[in-house]
Amino acid sequence: MEQRILGRTGLNASLMGLGGGGHSRLGMAKDKSESEIIRIIHSALDAGVNFIDTAEAYGTEPVVGKGIAAWPRDQLILSTKKSPGRGLNEDEIRHSVERSLGNLGTDYIDIYHLHGVPPKEYSSIVEQAYPVLEVLQQEGKIRFIGITERFERDTGHRMLEQALDDDLFDVVMVGLNLLNQSARRSILKRTQQMNVGVLIMFAVRSALSDPARLKEVMALLKAENQVADLPEEGALDFLVADAGADSIPDAAYRFCKHEEGVHVVLSGTSNIDHLADNIRSLDREPLPEATLHRLHEMFGEVDSVSGS
């Protein structure tokens, strides 16, 4: 598994980050047993994944803690998050951090994020939470402070633009996929200049793993006049038919891997076979230049859907 330096954190992160949230929550959202979930975690670790993302809101911290219990802590990068809606005063933040530490069975969190921050609430959330996070960082409970956007509603990255203006965060988590490539313009250019670590979410999500959802998203884009000339049905079939991708998810993960400025591509799954496929995809060569060009032509101006 390829490793990349996560910007100014200097952490050596695996290109794939195992995602503990999304619609699958490692299988918790799909009634998988704890042992099946732990098999997914072990399988990722055995393949060289050293980055695991979870959050207090996902409910997956405890199973991640069990899955990594026998793994050397210094070979892991653990990323978890505080939901602003669960309280932001000093006691509440401390309580969340202590609970996450207990759930994960560790005494430090590598990256602690403010989770899903809406653009309008950015200033007040950061004003309340950031000074407390800095103290926790000085105490050694958190190594780096990150922030994640609410991509489903903030599809044009308005919150992260503010965060980059302030330059308080060592790591950002941003939505990017071949349907909404807008992060390239607004976020990835700046993170590269600022050497901020970049985690990609929504590489596949629903629209790129479920043909029925893709059709709905295409209809939406056509109605908004964002992709006027494209068919609703089968718009991405060429990725497999002509471009040599094994599947649309295969193309989608490779699309993100080869985007400049990307450090970690998060992959969420409840299915151990999908995990193996996704590891293989992230090991593969870029999509052909002509395919990338076609995808840029098709969706390069879109910034109104998340692909969820």
Contact string 120-159 vs ligand NAP (x = CB under 6 A): ----------------------------x-x---------
Residue closer to ligand NAP by CB (options 212, 228) is 212
Q: Which of 191, 270, 279, 295 binds ligand NAP (CB under 6 A)?
A: 270
**Are 109 and 9 within 8 A, CB to CB?**
no
Show contacts with ligand NAP in window 75-114 (CB under 6 A): 81
Q: In this structure, how many other beta carbons lie within 10 angstroms of the beta carbon of residue 108?
A: 17
Separation CA 288–CA 142 (nearest Å):
41
Q: Which of 271, 283, 294, 303 binds ligand NAP (CB under 6 A)?
A: 271
Q: Applying CB under 6 A, which part among 93-101, 131-139, 199-207, 286-294 lies near ligand NAP?
A: 199-207
Q: Applying CB under 6 A, which part among 20-28, 40-48, 137-145, 157-165 lies near ligand NAP?
A: 20-28
Q: Is 108 a catalytic residue?
A: no
**Are 23 and 29 within 8 A, CB to CB?**
yes
Separation CA 297–CA 234 (nearest Å):
17
Q: Does 61 bind ligand NAP (CB under 6 A)?
A: no
Show contacts with ligand NAP in window 21-40 (CB under 6 A): 21-24
Q: Which of 14, 180, 209, 291 binds ligand NAP (CB under 6 A)?
A: 209
Smallest gap from Cβ 246 to ligand NAP, in A, equals 9
Separation CA 184–CA 191 (nearest Å):
10
CA distances from 110 to 11, 39, 79, 255 (A): 9, 23, 6, 27
Smallest gap from Cβ 228 to ligand NAP, in A, equals 26
Separation CA 243–CA 294 (nearest Å):
11
**Are 63 and 37 within 8 A, CB to CB?**
yes
**Are 6 and 189 within 8 A, CB to CB?**
no
Q: Does 180 bind ligand NAP (CB under 6 A)?
A: no
Size of the site for ligand NAP (CB under 6 A): 29
CA distances from 52 to 34, 111, 224, 245 (A): 17, 10, 36, 26
Residue closer to ligand NAP by CB (options 21, 67) is 21
Separation CA 235–CA 231 (nearest Å):
6
Contact footprint for ligand NAP (CB under 6 A): 19-24, 53, 81, 115-116, 148, 150, 173, 201-205, 209, 249, 266-271, 274, 277-278
The set of catalytic residues is 58
